[in-house]
Structure 1
Amino acid sequence: MGVLRTKSIGLLRENAEKNGLRKSLGASDLILLGIGCIIGTGIFVLTGVAAAKYAGPGIMLSFVLSGLACAFAALAYAELAAIVPLAGSAYTYTYAALGEIIAWIVGWNLILEYSVGSSAVAAGWSGYVVGLLKSGGIELPKAFTAVPADGGIVNLPAMIIALFLSLLLVRGTKESATLNKVLVVIKLVAVFIFLLLAGPKVNPANWTPLMPYGFSGVAAGAAIIFFAYIGFDAVATAAEECRNPNRDLPIGIIGSLVVCTILYIAVAGVLTGVVPYQDLNNAEPVAYALRAIGYNFGSALVGTGAICGITTVLLVLMYGQTRIFFAMSRDGLIPASICKVHPKYGTPHIITIVAGIAVALISGFTPIGIIAELTNIGTLFAFVVVAIGVFALRYTRPDLPRPFRCPAVPIVAPLAVLSCGYLMINLPVETWIRFGVWSVIGFIVYFVYSYRNSVLNKNEVKDKAAG
């Protein structure tokens, strides 16, 4: 079998039953989990950056382009999530469909996606908190609110929120989901306050020209703001903790994506309609836009909602990160000692704490732009592989029961590969270099440790010895 050995779905489920996570989530929890992760940094931070630097008012089209790529990938995710309702998301699906080494490199890049993604979100959270305090007359010293590359010593607020949410995740999934529900409601209220206040102030002249940087700018903007859509991937990581995953996972994945895409396009349109796109390159573009049209109190309300919104994104990303680690350690590809589930809280507490410390350190010392781009390329790579996986399983395992079937797989799967691949191509060369270096390190780790310690490899050795 070698490096392309696949793990049977029966064995995956058997391992999950032996070392499983507590089932406590329903369909509404999953939709809110997805909205909690999708509506946040993308809508409150990256919309302004992408509009100012890349797409101009065409950022609305960028969200449509990213949304379409995600829609194709989401349909593939939904089918695989219903077939293999276990922790691990794209990593687990790839293990069942395409083989161990491909699953490993997907998991390795998912670690990159969630680790640096969480760090980018923590940095965005810090920017809104510092801005809100400043508008209230409290100015924190730059030395402790900015990374060294931006003239500070450490981004302390980013580190504090990462460590706090790690402790919350240790306490339990249901408790974290409850906090997520409250914060999701607050941030959705903030989004609608923005739309109600700013909507009547839209000046269509600000939408001209629609694509000041051409369609290439729209495509580049789509590649940058793709970061905003990774929430539905986080929904898939919760599969093992669903009470009825066959029904609830497709609802959670597709439902959260549809709701959030509509809101993104609406906010992007209003944002670029009330303020010239050139003025939006700042840490809090939504709050800035309200201040620019005279709604200072509304700006404070939306800023508070944005903090809540970004908090939920960070919570869900850190949650997803630990579940990827959990699945990989259970398969023996990383040390099994970090796979232990807390006897009282029912969560993988060791890796949750370790991952929280790592996120805190990255967010405290690394510029947000670099880590956001790395998140995008890791996510897009995983989406491409999942689309290939669902296509392959239709032919290699047509007998598998499929509670949810991706419609028109011969069309949807290639479109997912092409659209996500196109967005990858539009990312900066430097991001590709970092991605390549990270992947090479991953292959080294696989052949030095993971190949020999894989549960499948150990089973093969036992079978040979017995034979």
Structure 2
Amino acid sequence: MNFIKKRSENDFRNSSKSYGYFMGLFRKRNVNNLENSVEANGLKRKLNAIDIAALGLGAVIGTGIFVVTGQGAHMAGPAVVISYLIAAITSTLCALTYAELATMFPVSGSTYSYCYVAFGEIIAWIVGWNLILEYLVSAAIVASGWSSVFVGILKLYNIYLPDSITKSLLSGGIIDLPAVLLIIFITYVLYKGVSESSKINNITVIIKIAVIVIFIALGVPHINVKNYHPFAPFGLKGIMTASSVIFFAYIGFDTVSTSAEESINPKRDVPIGLMICMTVIVVLYLAISLVLTGIVPFMKIDVNNALPFSLAQIGINWGSVLVSVGAVVGMVSTLLVTLYGQIRIFMTMSRDGLIPSAFSKITSRNGIPGICTILTGIITGILSGFLPFNILMDLCNIGTLSAFVMVSIGVIILRKTMPNAERKFRCPGVPFTPILTVAFCLYLMAGLQPLTWMRFLIWTIVGLAIYFLYGIKHSTLNY
């Protein structure tokens, strides 16, 4: 009777292989795996808590505040301050979860490394792939924004550069040469080593914070309360849409966790650095949004040059020039730290065998991943030179938010699976804080355009193809 068939021994063997292959996708790294890879990598520990906080500030305070603020004001009106607050709450909640995992696993790789322990290899790859999207695209956006501000300053002195060398191929030019040259310079600085990079970053962070404080001090006496009415002209939808865009202004604080292997005392310095970073940026951003919409009616704010334009509108031209120069200097450190984070993630994924091992080779002279640094600079230069600003920003946001969701879930899982692991910093209110973090992230993701979701899906499919063609075969967990 054909409908009563028995399974042969080969059937069971083949089924077992398929099951083993499927379970292999979720194989996990443990703490010993991570510690062994740290000991073998050769990175030098030179960063303290202040250096780490400065790395976060260098990454966060840049194109987001100098460019995105104007866009958010046009979407939400004076209620953009609420949009900033929503994005700030989301970022602060994420920082709390990051701090716990960073003190449990003080290694480079950020969310990617944490997910390898919590969820397994396939999820870690997807998260790592999305982090690549975040960092590469974010770096290209910063370089493009820097180029726009730099060209604008030259125009103030009647120096006009041709569009062919100042606009990307898809924006009516040939190449955004200033952006490419900036990336070449930053790549060179990073190649010199982390200590030298940190010194330059610390200097530029001081400059741009000083410029922002000057903007606030100059603007406060000129606030006109009438400009706050109507406060929310586009209602809740406008606030939500602005929050989804403004979140870009907070992207970068997670770079702090990628510096864990190069910090002197990561279990102390990383959480302290994170908290200092988040406190400073939240205070500055809320103050800037209030002052900006108070001194200029929101519909008159220049989307591409919000802060300098607003000072010029109230007759403080010298302040406008000063803020423009500060923006140019400030975005240099943002680019430096963003590329720094991308290089460390490439290095960590390479060390795990998911991408070629050449990416994790450390130079004996400078103690940095040399090949990875150069390749990251080349890819970012191509993106910034030939792709326009507006195509990149939403992709950066969705990639980052998806990674934050996984980190938050990871904290809950690891509290159950590794309850006795040492945690120098414990995220308060688990599981409620991580659940709230996921809710805020999903809220912001819901405000993004359908086309952004489609592009994100395509990016994820490409990443999965690379994993199944290369990563799963070369993973160090195979050995």
- Normalising by structure 1, we get a TM-score of 0.96
Instruction: After TM superposition, give the deviation of residue 20 of structure 1 in Å.
Output: 3.5
Unaligned stretches of 5+ in structure 2? 1-22
Cα shift readout 1:49-87 (whole Å, capped 9, x = no counterpart): 1212x2111111111000111111111100000000000
Unaligned stretches of 5+ in structure 1? 460-467
State the match for 1:109 in structure 2: 130
State the match for 1:2 in structure 2: 24
Q: Against the structure 1 CA distance between its residues 417 and 20, is the aligned structure 2 distance closer, same or farther, given a 3 Å change threshold?
A: farther
1:401 counterpart SS class: coil
Mapped pair 1:297 → 2:318: yes
Structure whose alpha-carbon radius of gyration is higher: 2
1:45-444 equivalences in 2 (<5 Å): 45-52=67-74, 54-444=75-465
Cα distance in structure 1, aligned partners of 2:76 and 2:173: 30
Contact 2:68/2:303, CA 8 A, preserved across alignment: no
2:25 counterpart SS class: helix
Instruction: After TM superposition, give the deviation of residue 198 of structure 1 in Å.
Output: 1.2
Instruction: After TM superposition, give the deviation of residue 231 of structure 1 in Å.
Output: 2.1
Q: How many pairs are equivalent?
A: 457
Contact 1:232/1:256, CA 8 A, preserved across alignment: yes
Cα distance in structure 1, aligned partners of 2:170 and 2:237: 29
Contact 1:127/1:284, CA 8 A, preserved across alignment: no
Instruction: After TM superposition, give the deviation of residue 396 of structure 1 in Å.
Output: 0.8
Cα distance in structure 2, aligned partners of 1:169 and 1:142: 30
Letter in 2 for 1:70: S
Cα distance in structure 2, aligned partners of 1:411 and 1:204: 38
Letter in 1 for 2:44: R
State the match for 1:464 in structure 2: none
Cα distance in structure 2, aligned partners of 1:442 and 1:186: 39
State the match for 2:37 in structure 1: 15
Cα distance in structure 2, aligned partners of 1:192 and 1:139: 30
State the match for 1:465 in structure 2: none
| Larger mean Cα displacement after TM superposition, 85-94 or 191-200 | 191-200
State the match for 1:38 in structure 2: 60
Contact 1:20/1:240, CA 8 A, preserved across alignment: no
1:4 counterpart SS class: coil
Instruction: After TM superposition, give the deviation of residue 279 of structure 1 in Å.
Output: 2.3
- Normalising by structure 2, we get a TM-score of 0.94
Cα distance in structure 1, aligned partners of 2:322 and 2:366: 35
Letter in 2 for 1:108: W
Cα shift readout 1:135-158 (whole Å, capped 9, x = no counterpart): 122111122111233222211111
Cα distance in structure 2, aligned partners of 1:20 and 1:246: 19
State the match for 1:462 in structure 2: none
Contact 1:43/1:228, CA 8 A, preserved across alignment: yes
Q: What value does the CA root-mean-square deviation take over the aligned residues?
A: 0.9
Cα distance in structure 2, aligned partners of 1:270 and 1:283: 17
Identity of aligned residues (%): 46
Cα distance in structure 1, aligned partners of 2:83 and 2:214: 23
Letter in 1 for 2:58: G
Q: Against the structure 1 CA distance between its residues 433 and 281, is the aligned structure 2 distance closer, same or farther, given a 3 Å change threshold?
A: farther
1:409 counterpart SS class: coil
Instruction: After TM superposition, give the deviation of residue 281 of structure 1 in Å.
Output: 4.0
Cα distance in structure 1, aligned partners of 2:158 and 2:125: 49
Cα distance in structure 2, aligned partners of 1:450 and 1:116: 23
Instruction: After TM superposition, give the deviation of residue 7 of structure 1 in Å.
Output: 0.1
Cα shift readout 1:369-408 (whole Å, capped 9, x = no counterpart): 1211111001000000000001100001101111111111
Letter in 1 for 2:317: N
Instruction: After TM superposition, give the deviation of residue 365 of structure 1 in Å.
Output: 1.2
Instruction: After TM superposition, give the deviation of residue 441 of structure 1 in Å.
Output: 0.6
Letter in 2 for 1:13: E
